[in-house]
Copies of this chain bind each other. A is one copy, B any other.
Amino acid sequence: MSRVTIKDIARKLNVSATTVSNALNGKPGVGKSARKEIQDLARAMGYQPNYFAKGLVSRQSYAIGLVITNITDPFYPELALGVQEKAGEFGYSTMLFNTNHNQESQETIIRMLGAKGVDGVILSTVRQDDPAIDLLDEMEMPYVLVNRMILNPRKAGHIDSVTLDNYSGSHQAATHLCRLGHTRIAVIAGDMDASTAITRTSGAVDAFKEWGVSIPDNWFVDCGYTKDRAFTAAQKIFTCSAPRPTAILAQDDNMALGVREAAYAAGLRIPEDLALVGFNDISFASLIGIELTTIRQDQHHMGMTCAEILIKKLQDPKRRGLCNNVLIQTELVIRKSCGFYPDGYT
């Protein structure tokens, strides 16, 4: 691989290595004809600058790390793609790592990213007071959070984040159920140590208040963002509650799918016996037979946005002091799972 070095080119043309370097990097101090000669020869010889030598002197890797929980969660692929595309535009490559929700491995990964010399990190799905954040601060590694923000106002002011407008998304979803006349609504919440779940819950609670809907405590289930846990939680609600809820607000489409399976298992029809709303609009939510009413978010855009914030910050030291907290707007997508079809939708 890349065996041709700057020195080889220099030797052939009887110039110094520095001149070659300057010529190829568009720096001044090289004559017009010599520059062209050098560039042509470099191309002809298939010269590729050595990444390690460059990194050693510049202390830049032009690589960023993207740390997610698990790429097999349908929430992430589109996000990862957005990050990679935007990073690619700036000439950065992306290293993707899965923590599998494991705190320890998250720290190991971050340390490794540091050792590999990435220029910055995009960190998804951190918890409040996550030690990963302190670690990154300590390493003086630039980073941007995505899909979670730090709510603690003391920290929040200097931590960049790109998140959904979870409050208004969840408010929209809850309002939709209330408007359809539901008054017995259960909320299957994601991990309540996550900013998304906290904010989504408060959006729903406020909507319920506005509509005068009150909900028993045991219909708020803090169950963790997985299909299986949502299945179990829903099962419990269906068997233990009389009267049963007529609607369920799941804070995530995967969880909604879990609820759906539990509902079918309990002999309930959707939407006839149970209205169901999800959150995320993963690709499969639109399939015939599923047709989940949900809150759409543009993960691709989220990915692009956080990559852009990070890289601009890397490239422009002036931006270092500024703090970006971007809220991505959501959209209510009405399908069939709540039993209300808008005009033109069949």
Q: With A2-B115, A56-B53 in contact, is A81–B77 under 8 Å at CB?
A: no
Interface string of A274-288 (1 = CB under 8 A from B): 000000000110011
Q: Does A117 belong to the interface (CB within 8 Å)?
A: yes
The CA-CA distance from A51 to B95 in the complex, in Å, is 15
CA distance A50 to B78 in the complex (A): 33
Interface 1/0 per residue, A72-109 and B, CB below 8 Å: 10101110110011000000011111100000000000
Alpha-carbon distance between A74 and B288 when the two chains are bound, in angstroms: 18
The answer to whether B2 touches A114, judged by C-beta atoms less than 8 angstroms apart, is: yes
Nearest B residue (CB) for A105: B88
Is the CB–CB distance between A56 and B52 below 8 Å? yes
Nearest CB to that of A254 among chain B residues? B283
Neighbour of A70 across the interface among B74, B81, B96, B257, CB < 8 A:
B81
A15 at the interface (CB under 8 A from B): no
A41 interfacial by beta-carbon distance below 8 Å? no
Contact with B along A13-55 (1 / 0, CB 8 A): 0000000000000000000000000000000000011111101
Set of chain B residues within 8 Å of A289, measured between Cβ atoms: 287-290
The reply to whether the CB of A140 lies closer than 8 angstroms to some CB of chain B is: yes
Residues A113-171 near B (CB distance < 8 A): 114-117, 139-141
User: Could you say which residues of chain B place their CB within 8 Å of the CB of A200?
Assistant: none
Q: How far, in whole Å, are A218 and B98 apart by their CA atoms in the complex?
A: 45
Q: Which residue of B lies closest to A58 (CB)?
A: B52
A81 touching B98 in the complex, CB below 8 Å, given contacts A2-B114, A140-B1: yes
List the B side residues contacting A51 at CB < 8 Å: 52, 55, 61, 115-117
Q: List residues of A (252-296) whose CB comes within 8 Å of B's CBs.
A: 257, 260-261, 264, 283-284, 287-290
Is A71 positioned at the interface, with any CB of B under 8 Å from its CB? yes
Please determine whether A117 and B284 come into contact, CB atoms closer than 8 angstroms.
no
- A284 CB to closest chain B CB (Å) equals 4
Contact of A77 among B61, B77, B95, B111 (CB under 8 A): B77
Contact residues of A between 203 and 260, Cβ < 8 Å to B: 257, 260
20 example contacts (A-B, Cβ-Cβ < 8 A) are as follows A1-B114, A1-B139, A48-B114, A52-B61, A53-B56, A63-B95, A70-B81, A71-B77, A71-B80, A71-B81, A72-B77, A76-B77, A80-B96, A84-B96, A84-B98, A93-B97, A93-B116, A260-B287, A284-B287, A289-B290
Chain A residues within CB distance 8 Å of chain B: 1-2, 48-53, 55-56, 61, 63, 70-72, 74, 76-78, 80-81, 84-85, 93-98, 111-112, 114-117, 139-141, 257, 260-261, 264, 283-284, 287-290
